[in-house]
């Protein structure tokens, strides 16, 4: 009897705890199923694709890391990558600075009809990227477009914004226009969470407007800066829609490898090099995740140091 | 600060997930199971006769047909009316590269493949090599050779196998603005030297006008290299030879370079864009050197310019026998995966060679491949009001007979054409010259060909 009781109790305990463990999975299942099928499975498939080479002559062969090795030495891929890095370094600071200014202006309570400004600045974000690119394509046209009309009406000679000299700036303009309002809104909502009492205390302490901005508002916007910066990293590295549409207007200046994504797209759909394109997409995905992570960690660390 | 840290730390996985998801956007289109080498033709042993094909058109059958040519809706409608048992559904997947991208995707996915497709001569070899097309010779369709012009027929074959029936062609001609030529007292050029001189005169008289718009177009460049006697691509099974520095290619490059150097062509406006349309409508461009099918294109895209355009024979490189080239033009091919091949072949035969279909084709501005139409006085003598009542078909028909022999396209021409702007296109933005651009193009083509398992020399 003495020996039987613990034996009986042990399986019961195991049974009970395992049930409890499965209950947890059950709650997780709706998320897990979606997560596995929409994220893990496609990535696994892409990784698998990237390890092979399918040829018009000779069929499919296992290539190991050959596609990755080739990509790292591929001058066309490097050129594309360098271009989006340059884009990120120039466009993002400008866009975030203007967004921050707009957010501070809206929050200053000195604007009449601030709701109107808020919605107007945000409106471009609601325009689908494809439509926006088409619209700007018409604006930039030197013959058919707005630039052309300005030239002929006022006798100006505005430069061709889709020439190789200006094309990157033209793209940056479209991105800034499209995402300024969105970033502004993220920063503005961060400002709205600052307790009003803080401003009152600051006023009692004799802080002026600029002191309040520097010591209260900007620090309060830090998390918003970090998150908008992270989104901008992703947006810049994955640049595709705008240049791909404007390419029809200026195929010689916007090449098939203008951005890494366009390069992968052309390789895959014009060149049927699905495997190499998959390798490039994986490299870009990893690179984007790493940069975004570094930005995030750096943002938190500096915030903690204050 | 503590709040900042926790929200930040929680966000990190989200960030990585978002980045990874964004990376995947480029991949979603690449998925799909392996089609197992494109379902090779398995019916080779059986012998089919025309009677079998005709019988198949009496059975209730539904066919899907992918094409973008402007004449196809009327042709398909007429076919359906003439064949109560067969119902052909026409679907347009966009023109040119969009169409081929869709086709490649469904072939890769192995489902949703149409029964019949429109393929340009330049792209057909690629799908033939992928074993995606039915060799019509196995169904006795070779016997129709006499129904078509020689250049159309040759364009429908790869390595002596017939992969489609020719539907239209693009023998080169020079379209020009009579009003602009009159206004500036220009004479219609008959040689390329004269063409350059005319361009200079026009430029001197009105700097805002150009002899033509050309931002670099692989189809047009190939056609003019073809005319100059260049045969840069040769294909023999898995061996491909590429020589874009052959005498013909060099002749074209030297000639065309003069137009670019003198800013005589508008290099900032690619074809088929709104800007290009506007330029053709306003007389900014005095000529348009392209395939005969452009007669229909002009009438549809720029109806307002009726009466302003005329057609002249293609300018020549020398004073000897006139030679022409070809751009565009297409065949109708039956897909190897089709389960209704006999009816599909019957449909293709009717579309390509039936008199009613041929009539609709030319009535709607298409250029014919059928020998009967090409020789018919009714068609040749037709005075087209849009072109000031000119008998334009005579010029096109003459050009069709002058098309040089022995031209071949690469078995991966679609890819080669996609990288033309990256290479030869750089000469149009003055980063290099045309000969340098052609060298770069050759290099890219060679690298790609080798990576695809071809022996390239």
In a domain, B394, yes or no: no
Are A57 and B238 a contacting pair, CB within 8 Å?
Answer: yes
In a domain, B391, yes or no: no
- Find all residues with CB under 8 Å of A255, minimum gap 6, and list them: B421, B422, B425
Report how far residue B60's alpha carbon sits from residue B343's, in angstroms, rounded to the nearest whole number. 10
Q: Is B238 within 8 Å of A250 when comparing Cβ atoms?
A: no
Report how far residue B314's alpha carbon sits from residue B289's, in angstroms, rounded to the nearest whole number. 7
Residue B434 has pLDDT above 50, yes or no: yes
Same domain, B110 and B201: no
The per-residue pLDDT for B35 is 35
Chain A residues within 8 A of B268 when measuring between CB atoms:
142, 160, 162-163, 250
Mutation to test the A interface, candidates B18, B22, B31, B453, most A Cβ within 10 Å: B22
Chain A residues within 8 A of B15 when measuring between CB atoms:
230, 289, 292-293, 296
Number of other residues whose CB lies within 10 A of the CB of residue A20? 9
Same domain, B228 and B296: yes
Same domain, B371 and B298: no
In a domain, B260, yes or no: yes
Q: Which of B7, B130, B431 sits opposite A223 (nearest CB)?
A: B7
pLDDT level of residue B364 (50, 70, 90 thresholds): confident
Q: What is the pLDDT of residues B378-393, one digit of tens each?
A: 999 999 999 999 999 9
Q: Mapping DSSP to helix (H, G, I), strand (E, B) and coil, where does residue A184 land?
A: helix
> What is the interface pTM, i.e. ipTM, of the complex?
0.79
**Percentage of chain B exceeding pLDDT 70:** 90
Same domain, B193 and B257: yes
- Range with the lowest mean pLDDT among A301-305, B233-237, B320-324? A301-305
In a domain, B182, yes or no: yes
The per-residue pLDDT for A15 is 53
Q: Which residue has the higher pLDDT, B96 or B327?
A: B327
The per-residue pLDDT for B112 is 93
Q: What is the pLDDT of residues A197-250, one digit of tens each?
A: 999 999 999 988 899 999 999 999 999 999 999 999 999 999 999 999 999 888
Domain that holds residue B73: 50-169+328-385
Q: Mapping DSSP to helix (H, G, I), strand (E, B) and coil, where does residue B278 land?
A: helix
The per-residue pLDDT for B9 is 40
Residue tagged 């229909």 (tokens):
B296
Q: Which residue has the higher pLDDT, A148 or B362?
A: B362
Mutation to test the B interface, candidates A231, A251, A267, A301, most B Cβ within 10 Å: A251
Average per-residue pLDDT for chain B: 88
Report how far residue B349's alpha carbon sits from residue B343's, in angstroms, rounded to the nearest whole number. 10
> Number of H helices and number of E strands within chain A?
14, 2
Q: Is B421 within 8 Å of A256 when comparing Cβ atoms?
A: yes
Tally of domains within chain B: 2
Looking at CA atoms only, how far is residue A265 from chain B in angstroms? 7
Average per-residue pLDDT for chain A: 88
Same domain, B229 and B292: yes
Closest listed residue to residue B355, CA positions, set B342, B368, B364, B343:
B368
The per-residue pLDDT for B39 is 35
Q: Which of A142, A257, A296 sits opposite B11 (nearest CB)?
A: A296
The per-residue pLDDT for A109 is 79
Same domain, B250 and B345: no
pLDDT level of residue B129 (50, 70, 90 thresholds): confident
The per-residue pLDDT for B13 is 44
Same domain, B361 and B419: no
Q: Which of A230, A252, A277 sits opposite B30 (nearest CB)?
A: A277
Same domain, B241 and B290: yes
Helix (H) or strand (E) holding B312: strand B309-312
Q: How far is CA B33 from CA B29, B36, B105, in A?
A: 12, 9, 11
**Paired tokens of A227:** 């998150």
3-state helix, strand, coil in chain A (%, to 5): 75, 5, 20
Helix (H) or strand (E) holding B90: strand B86-91
Q: What is the pLDDT of residues A51-109, one digit of tens each?
A: 999 888 878 889 899 999 999 999 999 999 999 999 999 999 999 999 999 999 999 87
Which chain A residue has the Cα nearest residue B123?
A: A270
Closest listed residue to residue A232, CA positions, set A283, A169, A288:
A288
Closest listed residue to residue B270, CA positions, set A26, A8, A253, A7:
A253
In a domain, B100, yes or no: yes
Alpha carbon A283 to chain centroid, angstroms: 16
Same domain, B271 and B303: yes
The per-residue pLDDT for A177 is 95
Same domain, B110 and B179: no
In a domain, B393, yes or no: no
Chain A residues within 8 A of B267 when measuring between CB atoms:
252
Same domain, B440 and B291: yes
Q: What is the pLDDT of residues B248-290, one digit of tens each?
A: 999 999 999 999 999 999 998 899 888 899 899 999 999 999 9
In a domain, B99, yes or no: yes
Residue A49 has pLDDT above 90, yes or no: yes
The per-residue pLDDT for B46 is 61
Q: Is B269 within 8 Å of A266 when comparing Cβ atoms?
A: no
Q: What is the pLDDT of residues B365-377, one digit of tens each?
A: 889 999 999 999 9
The per-residue pLDDT for B48 is 83
Q: Which of A53, A163, A300 sits opposite B8 (nearest CB)?
A: A300
Task: Give, in degrees to the nearest 5, the angle at Cα B91 between B90 and B93.
Answer: 150
Mutation to test the A interface, candidates B1, B17, B19, B434, most A Cβ within 10 Å: B19
pLDDT level of residue A23 (50, 70, 90 thresholds): confident
In a domain, B131, yes or no: yes
Q: What is the CATH number of the domain that holds B56?
A: 3.40.190.10
Looking at CA atoms only, how far is residue A249 from chain B in angstroms? 6
Same domain, B270 and B363: no
Looking at CA atoms only, how far is residue A102 from chain B in angstroms? 23
Which chain A residue has the Cα nearest residue B13?
A: A293
Q: Which of A145, A223, A277 sits opposite B8 (nearest CB)?
A: A223
Report how far residue B332's alpha carbon sits from residue A284's, in angstroms, rounded to the nearest whole number. 40
Residue B58 has pLDDT above 80, yes or no: yes
């Amino acid at each position: 009897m003495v020996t039987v009781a613990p034996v009986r109790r042990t399986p019961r305990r195991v049974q009970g705890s395992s049930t409890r463990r499965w209950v947890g999975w059950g709650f997780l299942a709706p998320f897990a199923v979606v997560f596995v099928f929409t994220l893990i499975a496609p990535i696994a498939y892409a990784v698998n694709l990237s390890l092979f080479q399918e040829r018009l002559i000779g069929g499919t062969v296992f290539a190991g890391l050959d596609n990755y090795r080739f990509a790292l030495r591929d001058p066309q891929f490097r050129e594309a990558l360098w271009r989006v890095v340059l884009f990120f370094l120039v466009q993002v600071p400008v866009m975030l600075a203007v967004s921050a200014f707009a957010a501070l202006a809206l929050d200053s309570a000195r604007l009449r009809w601030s709701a109107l400004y808020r919605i107007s600045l945000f409106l471009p974000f609601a325009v689908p990227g494809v439509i926006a690119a088409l619209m700007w394509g018409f604006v930039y046209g030197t013959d058919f477009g707005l630039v052309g009309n300005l030239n002929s009406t006022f006798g100006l000679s505005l430069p061709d914004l889709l020439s190789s000299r200006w094309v990157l700036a033209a793209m940056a303009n479209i991105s800034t226009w499209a995402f300024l309002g969105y970033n502004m809104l993220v920063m503005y909502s961060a400002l709205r969470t600052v307790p009003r009492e803080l401003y009152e205390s600051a006023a009692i302490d004799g802080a002026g407007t600029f002191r309040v901005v520097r010591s209260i508002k900007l620090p309060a916007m830090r998390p918003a800066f970090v998150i908008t910066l992270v989104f901008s990293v992703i947006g810049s590295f994955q640049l595709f829609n705008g240049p791909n549409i404007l390419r029809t207007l200026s195929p010689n200046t916007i090449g098939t490898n203008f951005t890494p994504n366009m390069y992968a797209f052309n390789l895959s759909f014009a060149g049927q090099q699905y495997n190499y394109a998959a390798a490039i997409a994986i490299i870009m995905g990893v690179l984007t995740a790493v940069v975004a992570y570094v930005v995030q960690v750096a943002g938190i660390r500096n915030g903690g140091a204050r | 600060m503590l709040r900042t840290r926790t929200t930040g730390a929680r966000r990190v996985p989200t960030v990585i997930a978002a980045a990874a998801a964004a990376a995947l956007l480029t991949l979603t289109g690449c998925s799909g199971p392996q089609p197992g080498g494109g379902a090779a033709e398995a019916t080779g042993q059986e012998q089919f006769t025309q009677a079998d094909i005709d019988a198949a058109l009496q059975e209730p059958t539904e066919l899907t047909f992918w094409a973008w040519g402007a004449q196809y809706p009327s042709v398909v409608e007429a076919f359906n009316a003439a064949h109560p048992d067969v119902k052909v559904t026409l679907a347009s997947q966009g023109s040119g590269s969009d169409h081929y991208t869709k086709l490649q995707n469904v072939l890769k996915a192995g489902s949703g493949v149409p029964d019949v497709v429109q393929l340009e001569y330049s792209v057909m070899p690629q799908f033939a090599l992928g074993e995606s097309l039915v060799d019509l010779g196995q169904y006795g369709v070779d016997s129709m050779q006499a129904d078509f012009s020689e250049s159309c027929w040759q364009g429908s074959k790869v390595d002596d196998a017939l992969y489609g029936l020719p539907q239209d062609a693009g023998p080169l001609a020079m379209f020009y603005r009579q009003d602009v030529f009159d206004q500036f007292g220009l004479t219609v050029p008959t040689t390329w030297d004269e063409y350059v001189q005319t361009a200079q005169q026009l430029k001197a008289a009105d700097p805002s006008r150009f002899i033509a718009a050309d931002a670099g177009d692989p189809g047009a460049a190939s056609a003019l290299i073809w005319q100059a006697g260049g045969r840069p691509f040769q294909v023999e099974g898995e061996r491909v030879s590429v020589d874009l520095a052959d005498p013909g290619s060099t002749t074209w490059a030297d000639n065309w370079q003069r137009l670019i150097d003198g800013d005589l062509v508008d290099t900032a406006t690619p074809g088929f864009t709104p800007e290009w349309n506007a330029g053709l409508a306003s007389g900014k461009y005095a000529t348009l050197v392209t395939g005969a099918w452009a007669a229909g294109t002009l009438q549809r895209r720029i109806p307002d310019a009726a009466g302003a355009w005329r057609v002249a024979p293609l300018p020549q490189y020398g004073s000897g026998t006139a030679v022409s080239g070809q751009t565009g033009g297409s065949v109708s091919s039956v897909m190897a995966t089709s389960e209704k091949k006999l009816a599909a072949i019957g449909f293709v035969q009717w579309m390509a060679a039936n008199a009613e279909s041929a009539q609709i084709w030319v009535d709607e501005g298409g250029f014919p491949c059928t020998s009967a139409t090409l020789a018919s006085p009714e068609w040749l003598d037709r005075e087209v009001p849009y072109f000031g009542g000119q008998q334009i078909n005579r010029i096109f028909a003459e050009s069709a007979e002058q098309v040089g022999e022995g031209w071949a396209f690469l078995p991966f021409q679609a890819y080669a054409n996609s990288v033309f702007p990256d290479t030869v296109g750089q000469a149009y933005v003055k980063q290099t010259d045309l000969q340098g651009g052609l060298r770069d193009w050759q290099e890219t083509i060679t690298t790609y060909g080798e990576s695809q398992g071809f022996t390239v020399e």
